[in-house]
A and B are shown apart, each in its own frame.
Chain A
Amino acid sequence: MSTMLEVSGLTHQYGRGERAHVAVRDLTFTVESGQLACIVGPSGCGKSTLLRCISGLIPATGGSVRLHGDEVSGVPDDLAVVFQDYSRSLFPWLTVAKNVEFPLRWQKVSKADRKRRAEEVLESVGLSGVGKKYPWQLSGGMQQRVSIARALVSRPALLLMDEPFASVDAQTRGELEDLTRRVQRDLGSTILLVTHDIDESVYLADRVLVLSKSPAAIVADLDIDLPDDRDQITTRESEQFVSLRGEVARLLQSPQVQRTGEADTTDAASESESEASDAGATADEAGDAAGARADTGPHAATEADSDGPTGTDGTAEASDETATARS
């Protein structure tokens, strides 16, 4: 397998100087061709910033992103993004078919070809015969199918999905998850999907990357060795699934995930209490501030520095941490 996506030392901060908020810090990972990788992390941890950097929508302030070997600067041609908010992402003034054809307009594809390919891809997402409708005439799940179809129509080398199923009901979510896996297998696409939903990440992925709180850093990289054919009911019941899910959940609750961010922001400077809580205050969640105040000791910093796939370490400490947090 060749490497499709290579992210090295990716850093992104908003603003400058004291007011700077580091959303992503020194992220390094790769995604192989044909892989479906999920990034799971607590909400507000910088997942969306990461995706925006990878897709070239915003230039990262540090590090590099390579798509099949080419440095990404600006939006690459053979990359597509599926956003969470389908109702805002689809163009309401275009019919479903025109929406799906949209990316082909900018490529050398004849009108007839565009039409045919749009029909094909709509059929592959289970939406034949709705091409003439407008997006608002479809249900939420169907609208998200349309945006998946639109993303796939130009056969992108890499498909990025930003919490794609977060705004649909549970039933539809299951259907869309299965659809994503099926389409990915059929077309051999490479998908990087970001989610905050642990179950979803394990169910979908060949591989799960666990991200820490803001600034995002990778704390674990798990291979998901579930069978390729997955089923919403039996897969989710299987022991393997349950234990993988538990592992990811523990990682997400581990002190590494909860604390890495705050410790990281202060690792260069000597750790003073005020600095740590400053870092917490810039993060958008109130919980961060609480975490920052609790973890100004040098212990937290050393722990955080050891990032990478140290899953079991994190697991052991996770239960301790939750116990102390509750008391």
Chain B
Amino acid sequence: MSAPTATAKRGRILGSAAVTWFVFALALLLWELIAVGADTVYFPRMTAILGTGADILLSGPAWRLMLGDAAFGIVLPSLATALGAWAFSAALGVALGTALGRSRWAMDYCGTLISFLRSVPPVTLMPAFMVMFGIGLRMEIAAIVFSTLWPIVLNTVDGVRSVDQVKIDTARSLGTPRRYWLGMIVLPAAMPKIFAGLRLSLSIAILLMVVAEIVAGTGIGLRIATAQQTVEYTEMWFWVLLLGAIGYALNSALLAVERLVLGWQPTRGDDA
């Protein structure tokens, strides 16, 4: 390691967790001040929003870590739907992408179709999903799977296709049997791109979860819609902030997994 320069030092201090959380807290404080100044029902104070949130979530008994019925009745089912559908997409997408990517001609036939499917804004398909699957959980799952599948497929195809020729030659010259080819060479080499697809689709999954729930009238989506219609803006804002927190937490969790799986990558570890 070379001696730390002044810039590097500053970078390290600025990049540290404490500083980014300080800025985050500062933003909340700014919100509070502006809301106090503005004094309007549409833009409630941050303390009020967080207070409402605490009332909603932390109303339960101590043995449930204070978590109230809302946490179990609303947040958990919503999360389970989003994560379950996303995980299904991930498994299907990686399998499909690997098959398409390994085939010499499959992408020549299906490439345009998949790019097209990916380009359709999934939200606009909600009416179609309602007709096909009825209003309810099945529709929510279908919407999330459909919208998260294609980014994973395309990234996997890309990853599987971009295995370095020298590595292919090396693996062949070292006598790698064909049945180990996928697991030992192709998928590890494709993993960075597969993870890029997974991260992208995870944020799409949260988005589609809320939209589908607003349409279907369940979970967090229903709460946001109801709060808005009954002029409970404080509660509405709380659910919006909660969604942000959920997205952040899930992304961080996936990053942690990625760091574990892709620990071998030289550039891993400092981006968050």
Task: Name the distance in Å between A55's Cβ and chain B's nearest Cβ.
Answer: 6
Closest to A83 in B: B166
Interface contact B170-A81, CB-CB below 8 Å: yes
Cα distance A85–B169 in the bound complex, in angstroms: 12
- Chain B, Cβ-Cβ closest to A84: B166
B61 CB-CB contact with A under 8 Å: no
Docked-complex contact B264 and A57, CB < 8 angstroms: no
In the complex, the answer to whether A93 meets B189 with C-beta atoms within 8 Å is yes
Does A70 sit at the interface, judged by CB under 8 A?
no
Complex: A81 Cα to B266 Cα, angstroms: 25
Q: Which residue of A lies closest to B185 (CB)?
A: A91
Binds B, one of A28-36, A72-80, A185-193: A72-80
Shortest Cβ distance from B191 into A: residue: A93
Residue of A83, A105, A137 touching B170 (CB-CB under 8 A): A83
Interface of B is mostly: helix
Q: A127 contacts which chain B residues (CB < 8 A)?
A: none
At the interface, yes or no: B115 with Cβ under 8 Å from chain A?
no
How many of chain B's residues touch chain A, expressed as a range? 20 to 34
Is B177 engaged at the interface, CB distance under 8 Å to the other chain? yes
- Smallest CB-CB separation from A81: which chain B residue? B173
Using an 8 Å CB-CB cutoff, how does the interface string of A60-76 with B read, 1 for contact, 0 for none? 00000000000000010
CB contact list, B8-38 vs A, under 8 A? none
Contact A134:B264 (CB < 8 A) given known A83-B169, A91-B188, A93-B188 = yes
Smallest CB separation, A181 vs chain B (Å)? 22
Considering only CB atoms and an 8 Å cut-off, how many residues of chain A contact the other chain? Answer: 25
Q: List B contacts of A94 (CB < 8 A).
A: 264
Given A57-B172, A80-B174, CB of A92 within 8 Å of CB of B265 = yes
What 1/0 flags go to B170-202 for Cβ under 8 Å of A?
Answer: 101111110010000100110100000000000
Return the contact of B175 from the options A91, A106, A137 (Cβ within 8 A): A106
Chain A residues whose CB sits within 8 angstroms of the CB of B177 once the complex forms: 106
- Bound CA–CA A95/B188 (angstroms): 13
Within 8 Å by CB of B167, from A79, A81, A89, lies A89
B170 touching A89 by the CB < 8 A rule? yes
The answer to whether A102 has its CB under 8 Å from any CB of chain B is yes
Contact B174–A102 (Cβ < 8 Å): yes
Contact A103 B174 (CB under 8 A): yes
Using a CB–CB distance below 8 Å, which chain A residues touch chain B?
52, 55, 57, 75, 77, 79-81, 83, 85, 88-89, 91-95, 102-103, 105-106, 134, 136-137, 150
Query: Can you name 6 extra interface pairs (CB under 8 A) apart from A88-B164, A95-B264, A102-B176?
Result: A75-B175, A81-B169, A92-B266, A93-B262, A102-B174, A106-B177
A-B contact pairs, 21 of them (CB 8 A): A55-B173, A57-B169, A57-B173, A75-B175, A80-B173, A81-B169, A81-B170, A83-B166, A85-B166, A88-B166, A88-B167, A89-B166, A92-B264, A93-B191, A93-B264, A94-B264, A102-B174, A106-B175, A106-B177, A136-B264, A137-B266
